[in-house]
Amino acid sequence: MNTSLVLTFTLLLSLQNAKPEPLPLVSMIPNGYREEVYKAESQLGFVAVSSQPIEKNGKKIGNRLQKETNLTLQRFGSIVSLRMIESQEMDLIGTVQRISMKQYQGPKQTLELSGQRDGTTFRVWVENNSERTIPWDIDGFGPLGKEQMISGKKWTHEEHLQFDCYQAVVNRFVTYDVVATKKTPNDSKDPVAWTVLMSPKKITAGNLSLQLPKTLYFLDQNQTVLFSETEMDGIGDISLVRSKSAFVPNRSPKQMFDIGKASFIPINRRLPAARSSISSSYLITVLGLQGENPLVEDERQKIVKKTNDAFMLEVRAFRLPDDVPASAAPSAEEMAPSKYIDWDNPAIKNYSREVNFLEIDPWRKAVLLEKLVRRRMMFDNQAPFTCASEIAKNPRGDCRHAAILLAALCRSEGIPSRIAHGLLYVEKNGEPMFGFHMWTEAHVRGRWVALDGTMGFGFVGADHIKISHHTYNEIESLAPIASLQNFIGKAKIQVD
């Protein structure tokens, strides 16, 4: 089983959006503070926010805000350190001029984004080589807009407002609905006198739909933040406690949170011969589903019954491509080189040179490539995610690396491909469950067929539940994995 580290850190999308209606900018500069991050009884790390004046020729010309997030987790017993630094530079009236974001796994920088405003547009560079131009709302907030709003606003009871905030993790403005409520504590020792709920509106672009998490702030009588509660992808509900607040959490954080184990979804019974299973039915309940369609339907899987918070999914596996119903023709994106599926890099051809391509049938080629990935890939769940050409040079990683590499190998041989994100049946300590997984789909003989480079069977059984698929065209990070956020920590699965 290959389980991925799924964090909000990784959700950088390459999206374009219409400019929101401008809202008045309130220039509020928070004082520096530090927050400890908790998941139940586990302390994950800290968040530090700082503010510094920007000076030129001895005169103040603006302010620079910075937010640094540091997390230390376990992943099946292995230590994983994550770090993200976000910053914004503003002029004296609070208009954002520059922004930046850097992400690290351990000492290695995994992503860098920077941007500069030019009037009502903003030029954004990802890793200094991929440029995007987006509309910029000069009356909106920068990436630390939430921190500005909660630190400087004086609230009234049942006050409602909206503000637009640029979020680097989605490279666009996001509108937040805000509600402030004055509380009457039931306990005289309860310091919480106010709550402020910030709810981002859902983002939709193409076949990606992303709901950023809500944040609920708890304030004292002076409207000083005591702590907040939000959600982090792959981790679930977390609390952030101001280190200088009077609030003392009732926790004894002695154990480190294991993000790998937390991603599993227990099920009611074992699935016999799971890897070779031809058909299975699953009753899936998802917290907060509210009637939405939570996963893709295709030739392999169909939703046959649905309620507001549950659905019955029938999954059918196909051992041969000719058994698969005919699929829609592939698009140009399924053959295009991209940041991660860089099949035009010479390292991809070099990787596959040991395969005898006297075989001209596309499906048989794809199966040979699947077996090659399985044979040469060394499992390493701490390997940073990177592009296919780098994986080809050092073939180690987990299901993410295998899926991306196999997709690139297929495209290098003229076979359209895409990446599937979903769940895989596994057994841990004798207990049946589903966990996060990625695999590859190749378009052969007029059909999309599923292949898994972590297994090398030449087909995918009914133990794979697909949530989404993506071409990874014009994607700068693991944004498509965001489709799993409705399942990890929120779903229950029963084998029918």
Q: What is the CATH number of domain 265-495?
A: 3.10.620.30
Report the chain (496 residues): mean pLDDT per 10 consecutive residues: 43 43 55 89 90 93 94 83 93 90 87 88 80 82 90 90 86 90 81 94 69 91 93 84 62 67 88 93 84 85 90 95 92 94 95 78 94 94 88 94 97 96 92 94 96 96 95 80 77 92
Cα–Cα distance for residue pair 51/49, rounded to 1 Å: 7
* Bridge partners of residue 177, in order along the sequence: 162, 199
Cα–Cα distance for residue pair 205/130, rounded to 1 Å: 19
Per-residue DSSP letters for 421-436?
Answer: EEEEEEEETTEEEEEE
* Helix residue spans in 256-340 (DSSP H): 259-262
C-alpha distances in angstroms, 96 versus 9, 120, 161, 439, 463? 22, 11, 21, 41, 49
- The SS3 of residue 370 is helix
pLDDT at 290: 65
pLDDT at 132: 81
Q: What is the pTM of this model?
A: 0.76
pLDDT at 208: 58
pLDDT at 43: 87
Burial of 64 (0-12, 13-18, 19+ CB in 10 A): middle
* Helix residue spans in 312-361 (DSSP H): 346-351
Those residues whose C-beta lies under 8 Å from the C-beta of residue 222, and which sit 6 or more positions away, are none
Cα–Cα distance for residue pair 433/424, rounded to 1 Å: 8
**Residue 140: its H or E element:** none
Residues 469 and 419: beta-carbon distance below 8 Å: yes
pLDDT at 23: 43
**Torsion angle defined by CA atoms of residues 410, 1, 382 and 456, in that order, rounded to the nearest 10 degrees:** -30
Residues 406 and 388: beta-carbon distance below 8 Å: no
Percent of the chain that is helix, strand, coil (3-state, to 5):
15, 45, 45
Domain regions of the chain by residue span: 8-261, 265-495
Residues 162 and 178: beta-carbon distance below 8 Å: yes
C-alpha distances in angstroms, 335 versus 330, 405, 411, 443, 472? 8, 14, 6, 10, 10
Cα–Cα distance for residue pair 168/101, rounded to 1 Å: 7
